Structure 1
Amino acid sequence: MITTDDLRFFLTLAGTSSLAQAARALDVTPPAVTQRLHAMEKRLGVRLVNRSGRGTALTDEGRLLTLRAGQICGQLNDLADELAGRRGVVAGHLRVVAPLGFGQRYIAGLVAEFRQRSENVTASLTLSDGPPRLSSDNWDVMVHIGELRDSTLVAYPLAPNRRILCASPAYLARRGAPAKPEDLRDHDCIALRENDEDVTLWRFKRGRGPALGVRIAPVLSSNTGATALEWALAGHGIVVRSEWDAAAHLRTRALVPLLPGWNLPEANVVALVKSRQELSARTAGFLSTLRAAFEAPPWRDALP
């Protein structure tokens, strides 16, 4: 009734929040996704996905199919890995998930280079500015930045990454610089909505003193870091950005760091896997590639 290709298609669909996002992940048109989904639902005789103006949501049958499809595809991948391992070959399909901006800048090239060195490996990279809604069986390595909420995953540290409060010289010339964290309540602040964090509560710490939370009233907010950064560069307000994204602008003084001596929570870069004991040869090889690439964080060279 359905094939393994259908199962992999549905796992990708289940890991996205809309048919348009699924189409981008599959590199096809949205109508093609809709037609294939309708064909699967007709063959199975059940509705798998509810569609609305707000996006997609799996039905109970869709969640069951996602669970079983992940198990089946995972077993097939394990079998392929085991057979390839007996031949001493790194093979199979490597599935990597990463944040959108960071993934475009630093991960995409590493995935392509790893695949080029491993001729029996194919690879896919899923990028998102929000936390991915993925089955646990639908990825091999997840590059993550910031607080880790799932304690069942195994984290391999890749690189330190500070969060930096900054603004453009144009904004500072117009509004002045805050002297203490509490002053931010009277400034134009730009918020980034990501990772289910409380985006209007900025937390600061100085030395060994207690943490200080400041509730801001953002004049602008976005779900993409690139947009928030562009607004700050254009002089629209104060923003908190990771050093990997802000370093080059800090070096050229297009952005100026604020509140010296006060630190924001770090958002270190890690690689996540599901188990330390069950790594395939391709997953272990890509982890080694990541750790070598970030042994000296490339953005640190750009810091002033």
Structure 2
Amino acid sequence: MLGTDDLRFFLAIADAASLAAAARALDVSPPAVTQRLRGLEERLGVHLVDRTGRHLALTDEGELVAERGRAVLDALGDLDEALAARRGRVVGHLRIVAPLGFGRRHVAPVAASFQEDHPEVAIDLVLSDRLGGVPEGTFDLAIHVGEIARAAPGLIARRLAPNDRVVCAAPAYLAARGTPARPAELGAHACIALRENDEDVTLWRFRSPGAETGETEERVRIEPRLSSNDGEVVRGWALAGRGIILRSEWDVAGDLRAGRLVRLLPGYALPDAPVTALLGARRRARAARTRRFLDALASALDPPPWRRPAP
């Protein structure tokens, strides 16, 4: 017979890419995970996981245990929450996924404050710039910055804040290399690429008012000499005068106000990158703790901090 601890243990394995990753999530050693998994399989009399090299895959029996086990834990969580709600308490576990830079600056402070206000809620904040690489069933709430090309079925989207994209560079760079007047001139400049969200980050798209046909789009393929998957690195390179960047307004608004960076091509617009919350399809994603945290985050972003007047 399986207990709730067994189910939580096995779901940690089911949600991980490897036993080593499961061990990190459980904060135990890999041998301890292997030994407990072997004991669980012997007790049930079935093979739950196929291990090939560093990767693992659930067997049909493992898929069944994961599916039914998740439903059992969700039902128990719903019961705990319903009983707690009758006593005016917010309880349970909340798993949030957010982009690295945005998560550090804007989601983490709200998470800490929310947990202080609701001490019976345990929050797990996972920072990742590859939302598509995070299995939908493993989070209750995901924060996404940018266009959402394809959301998984069952996800509920709620827009939290507007956010523009801007092209900018440091005054020192512009003094040395000149200021581009049109997007086509970017080909003669040192452009820096931020590789995130599996986007085509070297194709920059600009919109400008057309004389007769309304807006026209101009596409520029940059050839970056510098690129990184870390927004802080890319912003640091720009501040050091190493080149031109395309960044979210939330990240560079303070630098633009202070004159550390200069906005380029002001007559052209780039695709919007709104801040959006995605609620998971599972019932626990609709729980009071999820809704209340989402309301707290929406309040913290209204008005958006990057559009508030400087103190």
Range with bigger deviation, 111-120 or 6-15: 6-15
The verdict on how the C-alpha distance between 1:23 and 1:60 changes in structure 2, with shifts beyond 3 A counting, is: closer
Could you tell me whether the CA contact under 8 Å between 1:14 and 1:134 is conserved in 2? no
Give deviations 1:150-201, integer Å, cap 9, x for gaps.
Answer: 0531111111111110111121122112111111122111111111111111
| Deviation of the 1:67 alpha carbon | 4.6
- Asked if 1:244 corresponds to 2:250, the answer is yes
List aligned pairs for 1:128-207, cutoff 5 A: 128-131=128-131, 133-148=133-148, 149-150=150-151, 152=153, 153-207=155-209
Give deviations 1:252-298, integer Å, cap 9, x for gaps.
Answer: 21111111111111111111113598721111111111111111111
Could you tell me whether the CA contact under 8 Å between 2:19 and 2:56 is conserved in 1? no
Could you tell me whether the CA contact under 8 Å between 2:254 and 2:306 is conserved in 1? yes
Q: SS at 1:257's partner residue?
A: strand
| Deviation of the 1:24 alpha carbon | 6.7
Q: SS at 2:302's partner residue?
A: coil
| Deviation of the 1:216 alpha carbon | 1.0
The percent identity for this pair of structures is: 47
Q: Provide the alpha-carbon RMSD of the alignment.
A: 2.9
Could you tell me whether the CA contact under 8 Å between 1:108 and 1:125 is conserved in 2? yes
- Asked if 1:279 corresponds to 2:286, the answer is yes
How far apart are the structure 2 equivalents of 1:174 and 1:18? Answer: 50
Return the index of the structure with the highest Cα Rg: 2
How many residues were matched structurally? 295
The verdict on how the C-alpha distance between 1:91 and 1:46 changes in structure 2, with shifts beyond 3 A counting, is: closer
| Deviation of the 1:138 alpha carbon | 2.3
| Deviation of the 1:37 alpha carbon | 3.4
The verdict on how the C-alpha distance between 1:25 and 1:266 changes in structure 2, with shifts beyond 3 A counting, is: farther
Could you tell me whether the CA contact under 8 Å between 2:205 and 2:271 is conserved in 1? yes
| Deviation of the 1:51 alpha carbon | 5.1
The verdict on how the C-alpha distance between 1:58 and 1:210 changes in structure 2, with shifts beyond 3 A counting, is: farther
Q: SS at 2:142's partner residue?
A: strand
Could you tell me whether the CA contact under 8 Å between 2:193 and 2:228 is conserved in 1? yes
> TM-score, normalised on structure 2?
0.83
Question: 1:127 — aligned with what?
Answer: 127
The verdict on how the C-alpha distance between 1:202 and 1:280 changes in structure 2, with shifts beyond 3 A counting, is: same
- Asked if 1:233 corresponds to 2:234, the answer is no
The amino acid across from 1:299 in the alignment is W
Question: 2:57 — aligned with what?
Answer: 59
Question: 2:295 — aligned with what?
Answer: 288
* Structure 2: 5+ residue stretches without partners: 42-46
| Deviation of the 1:132 alpha carbon | 5.7
> TM-score, normalised on structure 1?
0.84
How far apart are the structure 2 equivalents of 1:140 and 1:122? Answer: 12
Give deviations 1:131-150, integer Å, cap 9, x for gaps.
Answer: 26333332222111111220
How far apart are the structure 2 equivalents of 1:255 and 1:16? Answer: 41
How far apart are the structure 1 equivalents of 2:21 and 2:249? Answer: 28
List aligned pairs for 1:48-87, cutoff 5 A: 48=50, 50=52, 52=54, 57-61=55-59, 64=63, 67-87=67-87
Could you tell me whether the CA contact under 8 Å between 2:23 and 2:30 is conserved in 1? no
Q: SS at 1:226's partner residue?
A: helix
Range with bigger deviation, 237-246 or 43-52: 43-52
Q: SS at 2:208's partner residue?
A: coil
How far apart are the structure 1 equivalents of 2:86 and 2:236? Answer: 51
